[in-house]
Amino acid sequence: MRESMLQSQDHRTELMDKLHSKTAKIGVIGLGYVGLPLAVEKAKAGYQVIGFDVQPHKVDMVNRGYNYIGDVVDEDLKTMVDSGRLQATSDYSFISMVDTVAICVPTPLDIYQQPDTSYVENSAKEIAKYLHPGMLVVLESTTYPGTTEELVKPILESTGWICGKDFFLAYSPERIDPGNKHFNTKNTPKVVGGVTKSCSQIAEALYKQVLDGEVHVVSSPAVAEMEKIYENTFRHINIALANEMAILCNRMGINVWEVIEAAKTKPYGFMAFYPGPGLGGHCIPIDPFYLTWKAREYNYHTRLIELAGEINNSMPEFVVQKIAELLNTNKKPLYGSVVYLLGVAYKKDIDDYRESPVLKIVELLEARGAEVILSDPHIPAFKYRGQTYETVELTQERLAQSDITVIATDHSAFDYDLVGRSSRLLLDTRNAMNGYAKPEQYYLL
């Protein structure tokens, strides 16, 4: 027993020394919106970093120093690659060379709105093949409470190594907000929860070496997992309230945006959330349903979360119905009308269209026979339901020739003066025209 404890202390001390001396080699699995920024920051902190991804084109782009993630500075990536501190590979045998590895892979929902943890599971299995004493594994993918200890830990311990003694395991949720001008991977506070006290201490030491933000340690991975779900559920529910208010205000002839701006003047007890055409991105439309799924294991139904999901998921249909009503006032049917959608991304000034409500709006419009034109300065083309769509440049001619223009994403690059001057009929789902001259037939969501 004493020998086992000494062995554990030796692994912990050795890894701590490597982290503080920057001699530890770092692995990051998944080079997407979470993994690539994290890999770059770890390399900038002075570590040698190996990024792993199953997509060869991402591996090739990283190794050539070509950036494809908006939250990464192009020059930072190129400098780290050219200096030899960052490289990418699809060969998972290189995991045997690293001292710590972070799992930053997708955690989508399946067709039944249930968690698909296959990417996490497959990553854990690859790590298990090359797991060695003294290694730290950190799961960063957003998931349901219990994933780290119920799914990842048994896979790693199937090797015969014991968590907390031979290797270390923790959960530290990503906090990526694409397009945020103030907070990024480097300066956003980090939450860490280890399986054991040593696991937490080592994970904390790693992130303190890499990040500027506070590292907040919690008592377990489950607490850290729940914390992440709670963050996104908070936004999910409050956005649903804003959307429901928008629907009601629309019927009552009240400007919901003016209502929210007035409510913001209260200096306590209120936080502004805004309506829109629906939710997008990886986190808010998906993460709360991880919790509803897990809650059923405990014979509990998260009614508020599920109701919020119904409201938010109904918004694309509400927008399409609004488009049809506005066209009808001009004696035009939706069938055969030209609908010009401005924006594809799920939020302004980014190129991320994952789960974007605009995709559903396009699908609904086309199903009802409308001709859809799309402009997005950040997304020249995209794929949806097996079809490739190309976006076009915003022009006066396209605005004037369209039966209705819809501002779906309020990108800063759009010329809203031009939109106001040239649109025949305009539906603004984002209050983007606030402060600009508007056409005679202008309507807010």
pLDDT digits (tens, 9 = 90+) for 421-431: 999 999 999 99
The rounded distance, in Å, linking the Cα atoms of 120 and 139 is: 8
* 317-321-327-333 Cα dihedral, nearest 10 degrees: 90
Strands 381-384 and 387-390: antiparallel
Confidence of residue 112 (pLDDT cuts 50, 70, 90): confident
Q: In angstroms, rounded to a whole number, what is the distance separating the alpha carbons of residues 343 and 345?
A: 6
What confidence category does residue 45 fall into, taking pLDDT thresholds of 50, 70 and 90?
A: very high
- pLDDT (0 to 100) of residue 2: 47
As to burial, measured by CB atoms within 10 angstroms (0-12 exposed, 13-18 middle, 19+ buried), residue 12 is buried
The reported pLDDT for the residue numbered 283 is 75
How would residue 288 be classed by pLDDT, with cut points 50, 70 and 90?
confident
What does the alpha-carbon distance between residue 347 and residue 374 come to, in Å, rounded to a whole number? 15
Torsion of CA 303, 305, 311, 312, to 10 degrees: -160
| pLDDT over 70 (residue 4) | no
Q: Which two tokens stand for residue 72?
A: 């990464």
Closest CA to 187 of 197, 199, 177: 177
Please determine, looking at this structure, whether the domain spanning 237-444 carries the CATH number 3.40.50.720. Answer: yes
Arithmetic mean of pLDDT over the chain: 94
Q: Which fold has domain 1-219?
A: Rossmann fold (3.40.50)
315: tokens are 């918004």
> Over the stretch 331-346, which tens digit does the pLDDT of each residue have?
999 999 999 999 999 9
Parse the chain into domains and list their residue ranges. Answer: 1-219, 237-444
Query: If we measure between CA atoms, which residue out of 427, 423, 444 comes closest to residue 275?
Result: 444
Distance, CA of 347 to CA of 357 (rounded, Å): 10
In this predicted structure, the answer to whether residue 6 has a pLDDT above a threshold of 80 is no
Percent of the chain with pLDDT over 90: 87
- 1 has a pLDDT exceeding 50: no
What is the spatial distance between Cα 369 and Cα 327, in angstroms, rounded to a whole number? 13
Residue 123 or residue 115, greater confidence: 123
CB atoms closer than 10 angstroms to residue 365: 22
For 347, phi then psi, to 5°, come to -150, 170
Both structure tokens of 292: 């509803």
Instruction: Let me know if the fold of 1-219 is the same as that of 237-444.
Output: yes
Residues 6+ apart with CB under 8 A from 273: 235, 238, 239, 241, 242, 260
From CA 445, how far away is CA 427, in angstroms rounded? 7
Question: What confidence score (pLDDT) does residue 9 get?
Answer: 73
Distance CA 285, CA 113 (A): 11
Q: Which residues contact 94 (CB under 8 A, 6 or more apart)?
A: 27, 50, 52
User: Tokens in use for 57?
Assistant: 């084109």
Would you list the DSSP string of 43-54?
Answer: HHTT-EEEEE-S
SS3 content of the chain, % helix, strand, coil (to 5): 45, 15, 40
Q: Which of 114-128, 171-185, 247-261, 315-329 is least confident?
A: 171-185
β strands within 186-253, DSSP E: 190-194, 215-218
pLDDT over 50 at 152, yes or no: yes
CA 341/CA 177 separation, integer angstroms: 24
pLDDT digits (tens, 9 = 90+) for 350-398: 999 999 999 999 999 999 999 999 999 999 999 999 999 999 999 999 9
| Catalytic site residue from 104, 163, 249, 283 | 283
pLDDT of 207 > 50? The answer is yes
Q: DSSP per residue over 30-45, as a string? A: --STTHHHHHHHHHHT
Which two tokens mark 69?
A: 């993630």
283 is annotated as an active-site residue: yes
What are the tokens at 168?
């270390």
Is residue 224 within 8 Å of residue 146, measured between CB atoms?
no
Burial 334-355 (b: 16+ CB within 10 A, else e): beebebbbbbbbbbbbbbbbbb
pLDDT band at 55 (very low <50, low <70, confident <90, very high): very high
Q: How many CA atoms lie within 13 A of 174 on its CB side?
A: 27
